[in-house]
Amino acid sequence: MLFLETSKVSQHEGVCSLREDLTCAICCDLFREPVMLACLHHFCKPCITQYWRGTPGPVSCPQCRKEFSSKHFQTNYLVTAMVEKIRATTSDAHIKNVEKKLREELESHCLRKEEFINSVRRDKDTMDTIKRVGAELQAHIRGEFRALHQILQDEEACVLEQLRKEQEEELGKVQRHLQAAEWAVRELEDNISVLQQTSAATENTLLTEVTSQLIVFVKLSILRVPSNIFSSKYMAPLQYITWRKMFNSLKPGLSPLTFDVDTAHPSIHVSRDKTVAVEWNATFPYTDHSKRFLQCVNILASQGFQSGQHYWEVEVGSKPKWDLGVASEAIDRRTKIKLTPESGYWTLRMRNGNECSAGTQPWTRLELGAPPQRVGVYLDSDKRRVSFYNADDMSLLYSFSNGPRGRVFPFFSPCIRNQETHYKKNYIRLFGFEL
């Protein structure tokens, strides 16, 4: 902007200087029909003609006073062109046109300035949002780990308290044994003294009484200390035991799921414990039910969720084709429909054993190092978020931020089985910990 203003000022100064050079010294205005004298000074033809009129004999230059023998001058066409150009650039129409362009340029710069100001404001707002969300996530992470630390601290304090009680109990036993032993030593010393005093006695009755008393005393003073002082549980794998206990306190914990046979497509077979589903070429005699999928090889879990946070895992193994996720309770189960959020499905899909995609519109292809053998599904009903993880290393596969509203059910599809596909490679298993 400063460069533009400087350039305009320099241009204006140059125009003013050129206008002065093209100004007649007689009429003090721009040349009209400029002519040049022999001394190279320029004047308007009418002005120099009027100036020399009535002058007899030699004439002189009005500017340098050089005398000439005759009234001779010549037209300077170059100066004439320059004068016309200056006159055109300084005309009212030209000035108005320049002023209009300047106004338009000023308005353009003001608009661009406003755009940049808005961009700066948006960038600052974005930075503030990033900082705020980052701070909230930091607090959330600290809270999650603080809860885990608290569980460990509570379990550590509980184990240490148990050990302290057992130690006090064992020390009490040893202390009582020590006191008994010390008492026995004192009694034995007294008996020794008595024996020494009566060793010279010759009466058998007295000796028999003393010997009888000593034997009884020795039998009563014998105490035994247990060989296994502490419980062996303290030498057990404490980390594994504690982890098993911690699992019950996880929030959310692993949701125990079972398949809902009333929703299963007629070609899906469900195991007796309702944790394994497999698709067969033949159909099974299911009762007709309004919840059942009739066109697509799908099945839902029996457990539905409407609020809170829930997590479950699905074992897919090396199965080359599957779909899983969550489905709205109001989905159409009688017709074929694309698995997208617009249709009430939030899913992850596998095709050809290595082509993994998120069920968006269009599909979002995921670049994975290796196909997951077990998939974790995390549903946050309150924040409307559905996330998928590789359950082996808990790496995030994909997350839907525009999750479902209302009641949803875990969704599964073992997909159509190829003729050569073996049963062991085609099942879907609901995975859970038994604690």
Query: Is there a contact between 386 and 400 (Cβ–Cβ < 8 Å)?
Result: yes
- Residue 361's φ and ψ, nearest 5 degrees, are -125, 105
Mean pLDDT for the chain overall: 81
| Burial letters 340-370, b for 16+ CB under 10 A, else e | ebeebbbbbbbeeeeebbbbbeeeeeeeeee
| Mean pLDDT across 372-387 | 92
CA-to-CA distance for 108 and 1, rounded, in angstroms?
12
DSSP, residue by residue, 358-416: E--SS-EEE--SS--SEEEEEEETTTTEEEEEETTTTEEEEEESS---S-EEEEEE--P
Q: What is the mean pLDDT of residues 207-223?
A: 52
Q: Measure the CA dihedral 175/178/183/189, to 10°.
A: -160
Residue 348 has pLDDT above 50, yes or no: yes
At 56, phi and psi to the nearest 5? -80, 150
pLDDT at position 300, please?
94
CB 373 within 8 A of CB 425: no
- The predicted-structure confidence for 95-151, as pLDDT tens digits, reads as follows 787 788 888 889 999 999 999 999 999 999 999 999 999 999 899 889 888 888 888
pTM: 0.58
Q: How confident is the model at residue 188 (pLDDT cuts 50, 70, 90)?
A: confident
Task: Check if the beta carbon of residue 253 is closer than 8 Å to that of residue 247.
Answer: yes
For residue 71, is pLDDT > 70? Answer: yes
> Is residue 223's pLDDT more than 60?
no
What does the alpha-carbon distance between residue 181 and residue 185 come to, in Å, rounded to a whole number? 6
Asked if residues 20 and 80 have their Cβ atoms less than 8 Å apart, the reply is no
pLDDT digits (tens, 9 = 90+) for 360-371: 989 999 998 889
90-104, 159-173, 263-277: segment of lowest average pLDDT: 90-104
Beta bridge partners of 275: none
CA distance 102 to 428: 73
C-beta of residue 48 within 8 angstroms of C-beta of residue 36: no
Kindly state the DSSP code that residue 11 receives in the 8-state scheme. H
Q: Which of 373, 374, 343, 387 is nearest to 361 (CA)?
A: 343
- For 223, the 3-state DSSP assignment is coil
Tokens found for residue 283: 């159909």
pLDDT-based confidence at residue 387 (cuts at 50, 70, 90):
very high
Q: DSSP string of 137-154?
A: HHHHHHHHHHHHHHHHHH
Confidence band of 421 (pLDDT split at 50, 70, 90): very low
pLDDT, greater one: 52 or 219: 52
Q: What is the DSSP letter of 428?
A: E
* pLDDT at residue 260, as a whole number: 93
Asked whether the bond before 34 is cis by omega within 30 degrees of 0, the reply is no
| Alpha helices (H) along 199-321 | 204-220, 238-247
Please report the pLDDT score of residue 384 as a whole number: 92
65: tokens are: 């006073």
pLDDT of residue 420: 47
The two structure tokens encoding residue 323: 């779909």
d(CA 353, CA 320): 4
pLDDT of residue 239: 75
Report how far Cα 262 is from the mean position of its chain's Cα atoms. Answer: 38
Instruction: Give the end-to-end CA distance of the chain in Å, rounded to a whole number.
Output: 73
CB 427 within 8 A of CB 254: no
| Residue 317 region by backbone torsions, left for phi larger than 0, else alpha for psi between -120 and 50, else beta | left
The answer, yes or no, to whether residue 174 has pLDDT greater than 90, is no
Tokens of 210: 């003393």
